[in-house]
Homo-oligomer: A and B are copies of this chain.
Amino acid sequence: MTPSIPDADSNLPDSADGLRDMILARYDGMTKVLQQVGRYVLDHPEDMALLTLNELAERSGTQPSAIVRFAKALGFTGAGPMQRLLRDSLIAQNSALGYSERVHQFGAAVEDSVSAGGIGALIDEFAEGDILALQNTRAMVGREGLASAVALIAAARVVHLVGMRRAFPVAAYLAYAVPQAGKPTMLVDGVGGLAAQQLRAIGPDDVMIAISYHSYAPETVSAVEAACAAAAKVLAISDSLLSPIAKRATQTLLVRESEVRGFRSLSSSLCLAQALVVGLAYDQQRHVAAGGGAPAGDAS
């Protein structure tokens, strides 16, 4: 039974923005599941506008009835009216442009001058460049490349990670994610001048993942040399087969990063790193327990 809508403000929002503000205002007073629904509405308004309640419930990890309750808690008569509000806003946004223009909205050529579009136009350039780079990387790495790299890592006792300067974020990501896949991991970061000690821990059953781009950091090169000296395997992530780390590597994964205005990106390397880790997680799982089920997701 609806309690005759005792809500303080019986006036509904009349726009998606108004709805967003209303959710933000009431969020703290909501129950756990209702908050979950609210978060999904704020984070994925397009989904909430267009999908069915069953799909939404699945994606947001709730129940259809919870979505209906959420809408009613906000004063709507049901989930339908709330969806209609979001959908109308979405249509209004998109029908401003003609169909053909909107379709090519993202493929449109980018002005090559910063002063033309202002500094803000840089986001278009970098996004577009990264998209092209990702397509390229996907083709260059290939399924076999990824699969054999995963096998290489899976067979190792310990994973050692090296990446300096611009490559460091990639190494840092792997240092965060690889242990989650259940593989012992050491990041050779050289903090406290302990790089030599860290390299001494490399054994013959280990693998070193070395990430380096032109021009190749000498610390990374010498770390690879140390790994080779210890008879460890080396997986190189680099931008050239001629790079000093690729030459000594057991396997090399080539990534082509976009270069916009002289700045090279990292998106492709991160994407590849993530594919490696998830592949490793599936592989580990398959060997540990024959049963199915997804490997644990991540959190931050």
Contact = CB atoms under 8 A, between A and B. Distances in A.
Given A50-B90, A106-B294, A131-B135, A267 B271 contact: yes
Interface string A272-300: 10110111001100100000111111111
A239 interface: yes
A123 B110 contact: no
B141 A123 contact: yes
Interface in A58-110: 58-59, 87, 90-91, 93-95, 97-99, 101-107, 109-110
Given A42-B99, A44-B95, A119-B283, 14 more contacts: A38-B242, A44-B97, A47-B91, A50-B50, A112-B292, A121-B143, A124-B143, A126-B275, A127-B134, A166-B177, A166-B299, A261-B295, A265-B274, A270-B270
Bin chain A's interface residue count.
Answer: 35 or more
A267 B270 contact: yes
Interface string A112-129: 101001111111111110
30 contacts: A27-B242, A38-B242, A43-B99, A44-B95, A46-B95, A46-B98, A50-B50, A106-B294, A111-B286, A114-B282, A117-B143, A120-B142, A120-B147, A122-B278, A123-B141, A131-B134, A166-B173, A166-B298, A168-B176, A169-B169, A169-B172, A214-B299, A214-B300, A215-B299, A215-B300, A261-B294, A261-B295, A261-B297, A264-B298, A265-B270
